[in-house]
Chains A and B, each alone.
Chain A
Amino acid sequence: MTVMSYIAYPTKLGLEQLCTDLKKINGVDIERSENKEVVIVVTTFESKDEEERIEKELKDLSSLQCLALVYAGNEEKMINEKLNN
């Protein structure tokens, strides 16, 4: 499983529209800012196909101006070890 997080900025359609659009994408979670035009986007996927599907859906959003990648993690082994300890 891979998890990635981004900082996302809306187009002139606004943050409200962007959040509405993002919530419709399967595999995407968001945390919107309370006071700025910005939203945190977290994507979670298990396969290349799923990754490409999410990427395409994000690219197609007219309400999304840009995504800045912050974090990408694939740490199954590490977490499993932690749980097994």
Chain B
Amino acid sequence: MSCDELKSITRRDFMKQVAFASAIAVAHTMIPGVLFANEQKYKTTANMKWQKTPCRFCGVGCGLLVAVENGKAVAVKGDPESPVNKGLCCVKGYHSIQSIYGKDRLKKAQVRKNGKMVEVPIKEALDLVASKMQETIKKHGKDSVSMYGSGQWTIPDGYCASKFIKGCIGTNNLEANARLCMASAVTGFLTSFGMDEPMGCYEDIDYADVFVLWGNNMAEMHPVLFSRMLDRKQKNKKVKIIDLTTRTTRTSYAADKSFIFKGQTDLAVANAICYEILKTGKQNDTFIRKHCSLKKGKTNIGFGLEENFKFKDKASDISMEEYKEFLKDYTPEKVEKISGVKASEIRYLAGLYTNPNLKVTSFWCMGMNQHTRGTWINNLVYNIHLLVGKIASPGNSPFSLTGQPSACGTVREVGTLTHKLPKGVVMNKKHREFAENIWKLPAGSIDPKPSLHTVEMFKALDRGEVKFMWIQVTNPMVTMPNLKRYRDAAKKDDRFIVVSDIYPTPTTDIADVILPSAMWIEREGMYGNSERRTQHFNQLLTPPEDAMSDTWQIIEVARRMGFTKQFPWKEEEHIEKIWKEYSLFHAGNKHGVAPYEVLKDNPGMRWPYVNGKETRWRYNSKYDPACDPTKEFDFYGKPDHKAVIWQRPFEQMPEPQDKDYPFLLCTGRVIEHWHTGSMTRRIPALHQAVPEAYVEINPIDAKKLKVTNGDKIKITSRRGSMVMKADINGRGKPQLGEIFVPFFDENYLINDVTLDAYCPISKQPDYKKCAVKIEKV
């Protein structure tokens, strides 16, 4: 036998061993007590070291075990000790480590010279970033520079970005892509409860009898939580899953009932449920009296389409009688005409929420958040739970799910948005002073005015008010709505764009400097998931060549600009030191975070972490030490300790269908691909599963247009057009007059077509509804 043959056999055997081991591990999680005679044979080799980490991809925050051998990640499995996924993973998690080893991984810094990108030593690139930033500030002022990060930033990345941009430079031009995915959830929480993030936790799934999914295709977007929900249903036959949706999805097929509503009319449906609750007298009067106030805000608030659009809501108190009068416009019969959901179905939903014997959890994600009235629809679902008092207790939970691994931990908790600080907001003098004190900065270093939210930041880049932008861990040249405008803006002569990433993307295409980043387990860090769980991961691998963590890139640039005092740490201990400093911001029983040592030893801890214990249900005095112990519930985020029931009307979308553009375009994701596909499209199995984007079209519309599966269709909006293949009766089925396109494929930039209208309160764009026409080509 030749040496090559021997190697080939060894390789084959090794891969089979990994394949068997993975399947056996999954079988154990799916089928308790299952036994395999040869299980030990498939145990991994002695050189392998299994270490914990949260998954790199979505906001569920599954715990993984990654095996490292000879400096390479060679296997991955779900961590059975993780309370999030209990050993299970989705298809992205199981393939996650392959995303580290793509052939075209960025390993060297690049700088644009005479129009071409050339490799340079990373020191030279970092020098250029620092000098260009300084030069731009000197020439155009501090607000001419900006940084755009991500919900995939680790907590230390975001913390250093905030300290550097807001503290050291003194501009609030710091934003993150969570503005595009979670901002409406944040403003929903803040307006209803005065504090961000869910009061419940994933254990709600183990207690709920009814799950109402508001525009949330959990089967594809949060598959592990969906599996937990199906498991709950399998073990308890009375459990029901209700899918409220605008298109039929894989979630619809698994649900007990699927109610289809017209885009934007979820506002009307939610109000109709509230109407029905009050009309039938099944509200929880005691809970409302003790724990709720009623308010209304401004109406006809616009869509942010004008340049330099400004909006500030104004709340005023209303009585219960006024609220009931308002809701008379939302009888089930009236709302049936608006939404397409039958009056009987609305009454059925209200009946589930009011039934005293049922615990109800509502889940939502992008459907409600990417919405020009995103804050309002978040408020309205809270209204339903507040009216019946089904909130902040096991199984009774309005639960906003996150899309990214640290949208909560980094963007929302660290506060990498223009108005935020790690604790509080820039507008508040005490909050600024608190941050300046911890950051060892002179008083007045932090600007008291919020500046540019994401869409406005890119508009400012176009207008020339922003000249320098540093983009880390995100791909805005695929994800910005009305994309062409911003791509052209970034290419303008006197704009300077720095991009930190691990692979070439359409965003690195517009860069003047590319900094090669370390992948998640090539550095130490923390993520924070949807249920307030902070998870630490060690550095398991060495980054390739010059690749460097995003945290360390920021530190290197900040030091070059003279901020050594603010970034004094040694490389081997900087994450621990950063965590300890960051913890000072959240000290106390409302948002205390677990110590570094605890996070290192455990599969995550949920804040508030108080006296060595995590908190599962906030605002409930039985579980939350921040509550007044004499009250059952205490919504302490608000000065009066009361949650707000908001009067918010149904208002139509900015660009409904018309005779010229008779279809409605909705964009979204598929289970196989993470966001813009820059990582998952480099994983062969995932790429082969869904190799390119497509347009889902209703079969009746397809017949009218004489389109069959795979035919090319041109989608045109007032902003741009895109040609792609039709998908009829595939995994999703849109309603008549509607189409759906996943956005993961950079070869089909569907955001050239979408509209950059946003919720005036959250400033989050609506990627779910814009008018288009379609034609066969």
> A36 in the interface, Cβ–Cβ < 8 Å?
yes
> B308 in the interface, Cβ–Cβ < 8 Å?
no
> A58 in the interface, Cβ–Cβ < 8 Å?
no
- Tell me which residues across on chain A come within 8 A of B37, comparing CB atoms: 31, 34
Q: Are A1 and B34 in contact (CB under 8 A)?
A: no
- Tell me which residues across on chain B come within 8 A of A72, comparing CB atoms: 95, 684-685
Q: Which of B18, B31, B69 is A38 in contact with, Cβ under 8 Å?
A: B31
Q: Which of B36, B91, B685 is A33 in contact with, Cβ under 8 Å?
A: B36
- Tell me which residues across on chain B come within 8 A of A74, comparing CB atoms: 684-685
B-side interface residues toward A, CB under 8 Å?
Answer: 7, 10-12, 14-16, 18-20, 22-24, 26-27, 30-31, 33-38, 42, 69-70, 72, 74, 91, 94-95, 98, 101, 684-685
A82 and B26 CA atoms in complex are apart in Å by: 26
Q: Are A31 and B26 in contact (CB under 8 A)?
A: no
> A35 in the interface, Cβ–Cβ < 8 Å?
yes
Q: Are B19 and A33 in contact (CB under 8 A)?
A: no
Q: Are A36 and B31 in contact (CB under 8 A)?
A: yes
Scoring B19, B20, B27, B684 by chain A CB atoms within 10 A of each residue's CB, the highest score goes to: B19
> A85 in the interface, Cβ–Cβ < 8 Å?
yes
What distance in Å separates the Cβ of B757 from its nearest Cβ neighbour in chain A?
40
4 new A-B contacts, CB < 8 A, other than A31-B36, A44-B15, are A3-B12, A33-B35, A40-B27, A42-B19
Would you mind naming 10 contact pairs between A and B with Cβ atoms under 8 Å apart? A7-B30, A29-B20, A71-B22, A72-B684, A73-B18, A73-B98, A78-B72, A79-B14, A80-B11, A83-B11
- Tell me which residues across on chain A come within 8 A of B10, comparing CB atoms: 79, 83
> A69 in the interface, Cβ–Cβ < 8 Å?
yes
- What number of A-B contacts does a CB cutoff of 8 Å give? 106
Task: Answer whether A35 and B11 are a contact pair too, CB < 8 Å, given A7-B27, A70-B22, A85-B70.
Answer: no
A79 and B33 CA atoms in complex are apart in Å by: 33
- Tell me which residues across on chain A come within 8 A of B16, comparing CB atoms: 3, 29, 42, 44
A74 and B14 CA atoms in complex are apart in Å by: 12
- Tell me which residues across on chain B come within 8 A of A73, comparing CB atoms: 15, 18-19, 98, 685
Scan A42-85; emit 1 where CB is below 8 A from any B CB, else 0: 10100000000000000000000000111111111111111101
Q: Give the interface size class of chain A.
A: 35 or more
Task: Answer whether A40 and B15 are a contact pair too, CB < 8 Å, given A69-B91, A78-B72.
Answer: no
A41 and B69 CA atoms in complex are apart in Å by: 25
What distance in Å separates the Cβ of A75 from its nearest Cβ neighbour in chain B?
7
Task: Answer whether A71 and B94 are a contact pair too, CB < 8 Å, given A40-B27, A83-B7.
Answer: yes
Q: Are B36 and A40 in contact (CB under 8 A)?
A: yes
Closest residue on chain B to residue A84 by CB atoms? B7
Task: Answer whether A35 and B34 are a contact pair too, CB < 8 Å, given A44-B16, A71-B19.
Answer: yes
Scoring A1, A78, A81 by chain B CB atoms within 10 A of each residue's CB, the highest score goes to: A78
What distance in Å separates the Cβ of B390 from its nearest Cβ neighbour in chain A?
35
Leading 5 A-B pairs by shortest Cβ distance = A72-B685, A5-B19, A5-B23, A71-B22, A3-B15
Closest residue on chain A to residue B31 by CB atoms? A36
- Tell me which residues across on chain B come within 8 A of A36, comparing CB atoms: 31, 33-35
- Tell me which residues across on chain B come within 8 A of A78, comparing CB atoms: 72, 74, 101
Q: Are A75 and B15 in contact (CB under 8 A)?
A: yes
